Amino acid sequence: MSFGSAAVGHLSDGKTVFVEGAVPGDVARVELTEEKPRFARGRAAEILEASPDRVAPPCAAGCGGCPWAPLAYEAQLVAKRANVVDALVRTAHMDAARAEALVGSCVPSKRQWGYRNKLELSCGADGAGRLILGMRPEGGADVVSLDACPLAHRNIEGAPKALRGALRYLSGGSDLGLFRVGVRGSLRTRDVEIALWTTPGPFPRAAAAKTLASALKNTSVVRVVADPGRARKVKKVEAISGKGCWEEEVAESRLLLSAPSFAQVNTAQAEKLVELVLAGLEVEAGDYVADLYAGAGTFTLPLARAGAEVVAVESAGSSVRDLRRNAERAGADIDIIGGDAARELPELGELDAFVVDPPRAGLAEGVVASIAAASPRRVAYVSCDASTWARDAARFEQEGYRLIRATPVDLFPQTYHVEVVSIFERSGS
């Protein structure tokens, strides 16, 4: 499998071809859809002989949310580990034997379906102009309507159909400015939050609270006012009913999260990330540790509980507010800095250890050098993109920090995405 939805084969002349709809081991008749000088793309027009690793997916919605569903789960884990090894070889230019030795087995998810604590639904319209909720397949413009999503926790699995009817009734034919609906549900705290992402303008708050309460049992309904062209550029968040936030329990920490704030969608596997980070850093009481891209405190609070003196850096305003609130609730004395990691890092001084959990783009230019200048014994790097992580791994090694292990963790079964927890150690430490 590629790092994507396609399986990888070769044409008779040796050229690589990426085949949509196939899994490794299939014998298929392939229709080429694009041919470039170095590679080609195609689709499996007919499966002539099914792979032993091919399975029947439980959902045929075609929304693109679970592109690896036809591949047996054990084969998914093997493929994800292979993609991490491949990233080290191709992007970090690491010796293949060393890469194989460094990358551990992919940590499987407790749940292969029903694991997501969040659904993020796009808004569209059907042929009659009525609101639909669903997903946009990668590269597609149209929204595929959903009734349910088997990737989601049981308490929010049927949210698309329930909310579609409620929001059609609420709009009454008028435009609510709605462009996205987020639903988060916790199996541990039983919280369910509905987040309505809309453009600025008037909104029927009281009617929304009443209508949505009857459609989906919830503890909170919020309206996120934002620019649909830049959906993460939030203007304000309005609490329509209930708590006005969502609560989850992760690694013995109770985290309150506002609608724009990031949280891992697979709670049980997020705890595996925390375990691997703490074990890899070997934090001792009194160690001075920085948590960059700290979010609402997934790693920050466990580090403080382990006895470290923690400085947390986070740029997103909603996450900074959540982190301050969560630290106060936990009684943790944490130095919290609201700002860009690249800008704030040189001011932190020498540290014993770092945790970095950046967005998909990885670490900005110069951040690795700034971390090295702080002279930590070890760095834990948590990544959601193997390619940018491998690029940064090479940078760390150039700065005198050797990669000593990398563990893929499957937070996203039925997809090609994988998290990597890696530990770098200062040479000679």
Q: What amino acid positions are annotated as catalytic residues?
A: 384
Beta carbons within 10 angstroms of residue 244's beta carbon: 17
Rounded to the nearest 10 degrees, the angle between the axes of helix 386-398 and helix 73-90 is 40
Q: Could you tell me which of 153, 65, 70 has the C-alpha nearest to residue 113?
A: 153
Burial 95-112 (b: 16+ CB within 10 A, else e): eeeebeebbbebbbbeee
Cα→Cα distances 25→6, 28, 32, 72, Å: 13, 9, 19, 12
* Nearby residues of 365 by Cβ (< 8 Å), 6 or more positions away: none
Tell me if 314 is assigned to a ligand binding site. Answer: yes
CA angle 403, 405, 411 (to 5 degrees): 120
Tell me if 293 is assigned to a ligand binding site. Answer: yes
DSSP state of 347: G
Burial class (CB in 10 A: 0-12, 13-18, 19+), 238: middle
The answer to whether the CB of 121 falls within 8 A of the CB of 183 is yes
Tell me if 264 is assigned to a ligand binding site. Answer: yes
Q: Which residues are annotated as a binding site?
A: 264, 293, 314, 357
Could you tell me which residues are annotated as the binding site for S-adenosyl-L-methionine? 264, 293, 314, 357
